[in-house]
Amino acid sequence: MSLLSVRGIHKHFGGLHALKGVSFELEEGETVALIGPNGAGKTTLFNLISCEDRPDDGEIVLDGQRIDGLPAHLAAARGLARTFQNGRVFGNLTVLENVLLGAHTRLEDLTGSGSRPGEGVLTALREIAWSIIQPRRFRRMEAELTEEVRDILSFFGDRLLPRLHQPAYSLSYANRRRTELARALALRPRVLLLDEPTAGMNPTETDEMSEVILQLQRRGQSMLLIEHKLELVMAVAHRVVALDAGEVIVSGTPETVRSDSRLIEAYVGKKQDGVAAASAGAVLEPSLQA
Amino acid sequence: MIGNLYMLTAIGITQIYGVAGVVNFAHGSVYMAGAYIGWMAITWLHWPLVPVILLVLAGSALLGLALERLAVRPFARAGSTILLLTTIAAGLIIDNAAQVIWGPQTQALPNPLPQWHIRLGAGTVSLLDLFILACGVGTALLLHLFLYRSRAGWAVRATAQDRDAALQMGIDVNRVNRYSFALSGAFAGLSGLLVGLYFSNIYPTMGASATLKGTTAALLGGLGNVPGAILGAYVLGIAETFSVEWLGSSYRNLVAVLLLIAVLLFRPNGLLSGRRALNPEPTAGTFIPHGRPLRFPRWLIPASAVLAAALPLFVANPYALQVLAIGWVFALMAVSLNLISGTTGQISLGHAGFVTLGAYATAILTSRLGLPFSVSLLVSPVVAAVIGVLLCYPALRLRGQYLAIATLGLGEAISLIALNWDSVTQGPLGISGIQPAAFFGYEIWSAAGVYWLDLAALLACVWAVYRLSRSHLGRALRAVREDEVAARAFGIGLARYKSIAFGVSAFFAAVAGVLLAHSYSYIAPDTFTFALSIQVLTMIILGGRDNVGGAVIGAVILIVLPETIRFLGEYRYILYGLLLIGMLRFRPYGLLNSTT
């Protein structure tokens, strides 16, 4: 059984049919890249998988349990962690606090709200009491997590470690994106959802991020990745799912998807006008081949 | 008929919202000022009605211009929640200036119109009624034509949609804003005069209820929607008339406030629009710019606590101790509000409601049920926190301005329920003869005793809130402030954590209420009002958001200063208003925070 299955997802926004029956699978330890032109529905799909929004039809199954329609904070507790397309760090929190916050769901015996009615109130009272009293066990847990945060940040060399106590708003754009990824890793996700992790990064920074993703892959991290830089996709993805106008147009290994004519059509248009499409194809080809 | 009166203010409020994106809480104050200008012209100068109206229009348009220049324009980029605060502050200044200038008493306003009555079915309609109706419909029509048929109106609507884009297209955004505020000020003043004529009297605080009613009507119709505001005004007028008929006149304001809360919860975009599309609001977290607490040596906090505790040993003057004790109680309120507004970034204008809950809880528990003070000191805040969270819970999904207005409504609702629930609260009489604080039979009545009690409560609160804010819970609350979407994506249930913030905050605010009830020995529905909520908010903005020490310092400054400098005492609320605007303008991160 797959780790994550997306089955027949539909989503409408007013009159727009944004997703038209999208299905794909993600296996344990696999990296799947979602590609497609702007407006294809990639981020919409991400929002549905991370339960930020709910699908109109279809189901999303994580570890054999349906998660679609869950509140987003419970999806996080099931082991889904995401980064955001535009980078959403907590600006006035330090790098350390940002990443510690990623581990919030792991403090479950503190923060879990239980499932029986009324349990939420009791657990909330307990959480208040403990955070005021701060028993030894509690402080040890924080200390261990802080150590772990240093480990996670060492992934990025000395990009973030020296800035541990700086507020996130003072970081460079690339460092904010790294902080975001570190925060997602602190959740110890079953599935890591990366929405354009290298958007706005220069080539060196992109290569570094690519290296980080490969390292995560070697550790067995399952990942779903949205990315426009096909070079990166080719380097890290086990499989590629190409979306256009809310539909999966082609999926398979990077090699097969890269040479599929439907993908080229999706990016540059149909071959109605032989000359225009041919020249457009010639323009796109080097970037696909790269 | 009452619907016509509300229509006049609702149109002005909705118009300003449409242009500046803020619910103008100084609207009622301009309305009041307009009424006073008219009153001066009629009773002192004996002018006939037409020049009086022209004078009122001109005077209140000028006031509108001043409002725009001083309280709105400097904050145009700061976000709507800041603008809400600055207009509230401006309203506070105007209202209290009016009290100083014209005195707090009610003035009679003779009606210069001939007393003709036209029989219409069962009732009669006076000339004044017709005049008010004509003014209402006329201004609405004029405004509609202006907004949708003229070039300037086009510019106004473009500015409302996207200020920066309008600026790029060569629209003088400031001029558009000036026009709008002058126009809405003129309408506000005229409606103040007409309402004054209708009831034949005026008083300096008449603006507050006008703002609340106008806002309710504007929200009912959908903010920014002129025909909607007219509909909303009539819905509100009819609802009030029926409730007065069925329940009695004291329920009038309660019904209005409940309607306000209901519309915010169920149809925040008004009766005329769809349900889902809530106006985009900036996340509450951006409401006060970045700032981090200044660092002080570690020993300073315990040292100042010891110094404060030792003070009664050296200071024999009971008055000074009383003032400081009040300062400690207000610091308690400020520290508790700071948890909501500073740490969690949820702006609350109803903090006085929690204080009222605590005060009534202890009054009822000790006077009626004979519970000792020491027990009530713990039980009452629990009761208040439970009721407070239950009341606020449905409103917690609102953001920014909408949440602020909902909390304001809830605060008002709590005191209006206290006013109307005679059998439990003794209604407007209040509960008197509350025992002084006592532990195991020892009554605390000396100034020093009360001082120590209040200080001890404050220190306990500061300790608890400080620990909490340094724990994982504080981190989670700050994450909610910074970015709700990202916080939720990392497992932070917004309803749970906002409830925690409101619950803990309500608990400590109620402790303050308990302490004050036992030291005043008397509690009435209007003991803790909206002005108190604003006062406490000013304290944390003065001290610095998300800064426990800052909240204490802010409270002490704002309580001690007007008491020690006699001259300031009379102008206390004007001072608060000026401080609020001044701080937001020049040091928005507070005295004890720095920018980086």
Residue A120: closest CA among chain B residues belongs to which residue? B496
Does residue B492 form part of some domain?
Answer: yes
Q: A196-205, B40-49, B135-144, B412-421: which has the minimum mean pLDDT?
A: B135-144
Burial B381-394 (b: 16+ CB within 10 A, else e): bebbbbbbbebbeb
Rounded to the nearest angstrom, the minimum Cα separation between A192 and chain B is: 12
In a domain, B582, yes or no: no
Burial (CB count <10 Å: 0-12, 13-18, 19+), residue B554: buried
Residue of B467, B482, B500 with shortest CB distance to A134: B467
Contact A76 B491 (CB under 8 A): yes
Structure tokens at A39: 């407006």
The reply to whether A62 touches chain B by the CB within 8 Å rule is no
Q: Which of A238-252, B113-127, B436-450, B538-552 has the lowest mean pLDDT?
A: B113-127
| B314 membership: H or E segment, kind and range | helix B300-314
The C-alpha atoms of residue B149 and residue A14 are separated, in whole angstroms, by: 30
Number of residues that make up chain B: 596
Please enumerate in sequence order all residues whose Cβ is within 8 A of that of B39, keeping only pairs 6 or more positions apart, or say none.
Answer: B107, B109, B196, B202
Contact B468 A128 (CB under 8 A): yes
Q: Give tens-digit pLDDT for B300-333.
A: 888 888 888 888 888 888 888 999 999 999 999 9
CB atoms within 10 A of CB B98: 22
Q: Which amino acid is it at A211? A: E
Domain C-terminal end among B189, B214, B238: B238
- Residue B285 has a pLDDT of 34
What average pLDDT does the structure give for chain A? 87
Whether B368 has its CB under 8 Å from any CB of chain A: the answer is no
Q: Summarize the confidence of residues B99-124 as an average pLDDT.
A: 75
pLDDT band, residue B117 (cuts 50/70/90): low
Which residues of B are less than 8 Å from A89 in CB distance? 483, 486
* Interchain proximity B479–A90, CB inside 8 Å: yes
What residue of A is the nearest CA neighbor of B465?
A132
For residue B202, is it within any domain? yes
Which residues does residue B351 pair with via DSSP β-bridges, in sequence order?
none
Interface probe for B, chosen from A48, A98, A100, A104 (most Cβ of B below 10 Å), is: A104
Q: What local confidence, expressed as pLDDT, does residue B508 receive? A: 97
Which residues in B lie closer than 8 A to residue A82 (C-beta atoms)?
A: 489
Highest mean pLDDT: which of A223-232, B352-361, B527-536?
B352-361
Cβ of A46 under 8 Å from any chain B Cβ?
no
Which of A128, A140, A165 has the highest number of chain B CBs within 10 A, making it the mutation to test binding with B? A128
Which whole-number Å values give the CA distances from B193 to B8, B41, B109, in the listed order?
11, 11, 9
Q: Specify the amino acid at residue A234.
A: M
Q: Is residue B548 part of a domain?
A: no
- How sure is the predictor about B123, in pLDDT bands with cuts at 50, 70 and 90? low
pLDDT exceeds 60 at position A273: no
Residue B364 near chain A (CB below 8 Å): no
- Identify the band that residue A281 occupies on the pLDDT scale cut at 50, 70 and 90: very low
Say which residue the tokens 């020490």 belong to: B549
Tell me the CB-side half-sphere exposure of residue A211, using CA atoms within 13 A: 9
Picking from B529, B546, B572, the residue at the C-terminal end of a domain is: B529
Per-residue pLDDT at A78: 92
User: Is B580 domain-assigned?
Assistant: no
- Please indicate, yes or no, whether residues B220 and B124 belong to a single structural domain of this protein: yes
pLDDT of residue B335: 96
- Decide if B158 is inside a domain: yes
Q: Do A101 and B488 touch (CB under 8 A)?
A: no
Candidates B471, B481, B497, B545, partner chain A, best to mutate (most A CBs within 10 A): B471
Interface touch B485/A169, C-beta < 8 Å:
no
Query: How many separate helices (H) and strands (E) can be counted in chain B?
Result: 25, 10
Q: Which of B286, B172, B182, B272 is nearest to B224 (CA)?
A: B272
Q: Give me the residue label for tokens 């609320």.
A: B573
Closest residue on chain B to A121 (Cα): B496
The answer to whether residues B220 and B352 belong to one domain is no
| CB distance B204 to B33 below 8 Å | no
Is the pLDDT score of B401 beyond 90? Answer: no
Averaged pLDDT for residues B63-92: 87
Q: What angle do CA B237, B240, B244 make, to 5 degrees?
A: 140
Tell me whether residues B504 and A72 touch, CB distance under 8 A.
no
Domain identity same for B220 and B354: no
pLDDT class for B35, splitting at 50, 70, 90?
very high
- Helix A203-218, helix A173-186: angle, nearest 10: 10
Quick one: which of B55, B34, B50 has its CA closest to B109?
B34
Q: Is the pLDDT of residue B474 over 90?
A: yes
Helix-helix angle B318-338:B548-564, to 10 degrees: 140
A73 contacts B493? CB cut-off 8 A: yes
What are the chain A neighbours of B481 within 8 Å (beta carbons)?
92
Kindly tell me if the per-residue pLDDT of B433 is higher than 90.
no
Which residue among B490, B496, B596 sits closest to A187, beta carbon to beta carbon? B490
**A90 vs B496: CB contact, 8 Å cut-off?**
no
In chain B, residues with a C-beta closer than 8 Å to the C-beta of A111 are: 472, 476, 491
- Say which of B467, B483, B493 has its CB closest to residue A88: B483
Is the CB of A73 less than 8 angstroms away from the CB of B472? no
* Min distance A111 CA to chain B CA atoms (Å): 9
Going by pLDDT thresholds of 50, 70 and 90, the confidence category of residue B486 is very high
Q: Indicate whether B224 and B356 sit together in one domain.
A: no
Contact by Cβ (8 Å): B389, B503: yes
| Interchain pair A132, B482: CB under 8 A | no
- Classified as helix, coil or strand, A70 is coil
Domains contained in chain B, number: 2
Does residue A33 or residue A113 have the better pLDDT? A33
Q: Which residues contact B242 (CB under 8 A, 6 or more apart)?
A: none
Counting residues of chain B whose pLDDT is more than 70, the rounded percentage is: 93
* Average confidence (pLDDT) over A140-155: 93
ipTM (interface pTM): 0.90
In a domain, B91, yes or no: yes
Mean pLDDT of chain B: 85
* B423 alpha carbon, distance to own chain's centre: 28
CA A103 vs CA A57, A146, B412, B472: distances in Å = 32, 10, 40, 10
The answer for B63, left when phi > 0, alpha when psi is -120 to 50, beta otherwise, is alpha
Tell me, yes or no, if A71 comes closer than 8 A to chain B by beta carbon. yes
Give pLDDT, residue B197.
87
Greater model confidence, B292 or B470: B470
Residue B585: which H helix or E strand, with range? helix B572-586
Which of B492, B499, B596 has its CB closest to that of A104? Answer: B492
Please, which pLDDT band fits residue B18 given cuts at 50, 70 and 90? confident
| Last residue in a domain, options B504, B529, B554 | B529
Residues facing A243 on adjacent strands: A248
Contact call for residues B336 and B491 (beta carbons, < 8 A): no
On the question of pLDDT at B281 being above 50, the answer is no
Please state, in angstroms and rounded to a whole number, the distance separating the CA atoms of residues B74 and B72. Answer: 6
- Check: CB of residue A61 under 8 Å from CB of residue A269: no
For residue B353, is pLDDT > 90?
A: yes
User: Distance (Å) from the C-alpha of residue A146 to the closest C-alpha of chain B?
Assistant: 12
Q: State whether B42 and B160 are in the same domain.
A: yes
The structure tokens listed for B120 are 């219409």
Q: Of all residues in chain A, what percent carry a pLDDT higher than 90? A: 59
In which band, very low, low, confident or very high, does the pLDDT at A92 lie, cut at 50, 70 and 90? confident
The chain A residue lying nearest B460, using CA atoms, is A132
What b/e sequence results for B465-492 when a residue is b if at least 16 CB atoms lie within 10 Å of its CB, and e otherwise? bbebbebbbbbbbbbbbbbbebbbbbbb
CB contact under 8 A, A93 and B478: yes
Residues 126-185 of A with CB under 8 A from B: 127-128, 130-134, 138, 142, 167, 169-170, 183
Radius of gyration over every alpha carbon of chain A, rounded to an integer in angstroms: 21
Chain B hits for A115, CB-CB cut-off 8 Å, are none
How far B216 CA lies from chain A's nearest CA (Å)? 30
Is it the case that residue A215 has pLDDT exceeding 70?
yes
Do B197 and B69 fall into the same domain? yes
Cross-chain residue pair A89–B468, CB shorter than 8 Å: no
Tell me what pLDDT residue B76 has.
Answer: 77
Question: Which range marks the domain in which residue B114 is found?
Answer: 2-238
Instruction: Report the amino acid identity of residue B212.
Output: L
**Are A76 and B489 a contacting pair at CB < 8 A?**
yes
Q: How confident is the model at residue B279 (pLDDT cuts 50, 70, 90)?
A: very low
Q: Which of B467, B476, B496 is the closest to A113 by Cβ? A: B496
The H or E element that residue B391 is part of is: helix B373-392
pLDDT value at residue B284: 33
Q: Is any Cβ of chain B less than 8 angstroms from the Cβ of A13?
A: no
Q: For residues B417 and B426, give the distance between their C-alpha atoms in angstroms, rounded to a whole number.
A: 11
Res B230: pLDDT: 85
Q: Which residue has the tokens 């917004």?
A: B494
CA distance B254 to B240: 9
More confident site: B564 or B406: B406
Nearest CA in chain A to B345: A92
Listed in order, strand segments (DSSP E) in B187-227 are 201-202
Q: Each residue of A45-55: pLDDT tens digit?
A: 999 999 989 99
**Contact by Cβ (8 Å): B95, B207:** yes
B180, part of any domain? yes
Comparing CB atoms, the residue among B464, B487, B503 nearest residue A132 is B464
CA distance B562 to B330: 14
CA–CA gap between residue B485 and residue B497 (Å, rounded): 14
> What domains does chain A contain, in order, with CATH numbers?
1-79+191-258 (3.40.50.300), 88-188 (no CATH)
Tell me, yes or no, whether B229 and B325 share the same domain.
no
pLDDT at residue B276 tops 90: no
Of the partner residues A73, A84, A97, the one whose CB lies closest to the CB of residue B475 = A97
Inspect the interface and report whether the beta carbons of A76 and B499 lie closer than 8 Å: no
Distance CA A34, CA A42 (A): 7
Report helix, strand or coil for A252.
Answer: strand
Strand B593-594 versus strand B292-293 pairing type: antiparallel
Residue B226 sits in the same domain as residue B330: no
Which region holds residue B103: left if phi is over 0, alpha if psi is between -120 and 50, else beta?
left
Going by their DSSP bridges, the two strands A16-26 and A4-13 should be labelled as: antiparallel
- B475 has a chain A CB within 8 A of its CB: yes
Mutate to test the interface with A, among B390, B466, B470, B475 (most CBs of A within 10 A): B475
Separation of alpha carbons B229 and A121, rounded Å = 40
The 3-state DSSP composition of chain A as helix, strand, coil percent (nearest 5) reads 45, 20, 30
